[in-house]
Amino acid sequence: MVNPERFLSTIEFGSVPTLEPGVLVIGGGIAGLAAALAAAEHSDVMLVTKDVFQESNTYYAQGGIAAAMAVGDSPEDHLNDTLVAGAGLCDREAVRVLVEEGVSCCRELIDWDMPFDKVGDEIAFTREGGHGCRRVIHADGDATGKVIVATMLDRVRNHPNIRMLDKHFVIDLLHFEGECYGALMMDSAYGRMLKVEAGATIVATGGLGRIFRETTNPEVATGDGFALCFRAGATLRDMEFVQFHPTTLYLPGAPRFLISEAVRGEGAHLLNLSGERFMKKYTEQGELAPRDVVSQSIFKELNATGTTHVNLDLRHIDDGLIDERFPNIKEICANYGIDIKTEYIPVRPSVHYMMGGVKTDTNGFTGIERLYAVGEVASTGVHGANRLASNSLLEGLVFGKRAGLASANVGADHHKFPPRSIARHTFGKTVPLDIEDVVRSLKALTWRDLGVYRDGPKLQEAEKSIASWERYIIPEQFQARGGFEIQNMITTAKVMVRAALIRTESRGAHQRIDYPDTDPQWEHHAELSVREFME
């Protein structure tokens, strides 16, 4: 049984130091930074990350930000492309907010001296899969995320109403009877507890790629925010829709480094190991199909040819364009002995992005009083069953700002976590536990059973395995970040497996071998909360 009080019931709060900001923001990617900056115009803000501030999915983002700013483009065209990619599950109103307010948010970045790449005096645009035109703006070629973080962090550090706290791991949200009062966290360096009682709390913790064996995500992406909000009583929505990026570097021993969608947008070809372009066998859109289609096509080709990877061919692209647009990709590949101007890049899909998450409205409100979620951890409904390329950074800007403004108003009415006597509980006999082995086992399970293709019997076995792990992985065994992370990973994986079992169809990024067709009756969201897992 999942017990939402499980962590909090082991803590004696009287001895824990307390801080009381108006708004607590958990996470330092683009959504958290946008939320903190917006909230700080009306409230004092504490911004917390579990690692250094540069360590986030945003920092490693390559492609850019999709925004209808080019001549001949329009928010309506952007909306339509997003709806098509989302395979019937996008919420139109949320998408409209995204594409309309996204333009002004990007112009605000420009006002903050964000150095987007230009052609002459005009901002440069590129095209990515699923977009009907060149709509994606970028910086430093293929280092857009790094430049965004630097630009926004500079403003955060210089804002008088924002206090920054890094290397603090949030153990759990402080919640009671449907209301959130802040969070309990631990100083990762010294193991000291800290209680933050906030008028409003914004969870912006990013993704969950590290639950899987192969992912583009950094080490911090262990699904913490999904588990935190789930235990607090929030609803998780569409957790079956995890996006695989079609092209990540595939070399023995090398990390699954992302090869940006923009590479194909600039004309790169996908080839099988016989040197044949194969994408047109599976879709008329070829290499510029949405990510779910490209990833599924690659796996079909791998199965058909009995190979481990395909090749990405840039050899026909102008050398100057490669130098200008993809300097980071060129350098990383060169470190592994690949000259992308003259040689193929071996690639295959890896886990990249969670389209589902904590159910919110367009202001980031979760349904739990004073609790908001933004960015990849949230489900606003803009991505549906498959995220349109480069909409994620835009989502972080737009909904981060909205949640920041909404939470600042709530945070002004500050009040404390209700005093109560909390008894220590014993959940059973502790046993020796190799955390690293549990993590490896979980990653193998999710990669095998929650991959690009799923089927019912394997999902049922996965659910049993996760349930057995839960019985002996208990809070008293952990005094460090890694132990708490594995609990979050297991909780999040359990919800994902259940969601994948429930959706008995194939749609977007969710493909069931035993239910290969798209079912019109399933054109709705799948929602799960802690109540569905109580015995």
Catalytically active residues are: 291
Within 272-381, residue ranges assigned H as helices are: 291-305, 319-325, 327-335
Cβ contact 182:197 at 8 Å: yes
Cβ contact 504:515 at 8 Å: yes
Largest CA distance in the chain: 69
Type of residue found at 104:
S
- Which residues on neighbouring strands pair with residue 64, listed in sequence order? none
DSSP state of 376: G
Within 232-279, residue ranges assigned H as helices are: 261-265
Q: Could you tell me the two tokens for 1? A: 């049984």
Count Cβ neighbours within 10 Å for each residue of 421-446 and write b for 16 or more, e otherwise: eeeeeebeeeeebeeeebbeebbebb
DSSP state of 369: B
- What are residue 194's phi and psi, to 5 degrees? -140, 130
- Helices (runs of H) and strands (runs of E) counted in the chain: 13, 22
- Neighbour order of strands in the sheet with 65-66: 65-66, 136-137, 125-126
Nearest to 33 by CA among 375, 359, 383: 375
- What are residue 82's phi and psi, to 5 degrees? -65, -40
Nearest to 478 by CA among 196, 186, 182, 221: 186
Task: Report the residue count for the chain.
Answer: 535
Q: Could you tell me the two tokens for 107? A: 């112009």
Q: Could you tell me the two tokens for 412? A: 């002004």
CA 71 to each of CA 41, 114, 134, 427: distance values in angstroms, whole numbers, following the listed order = 33, 21, 10, 62
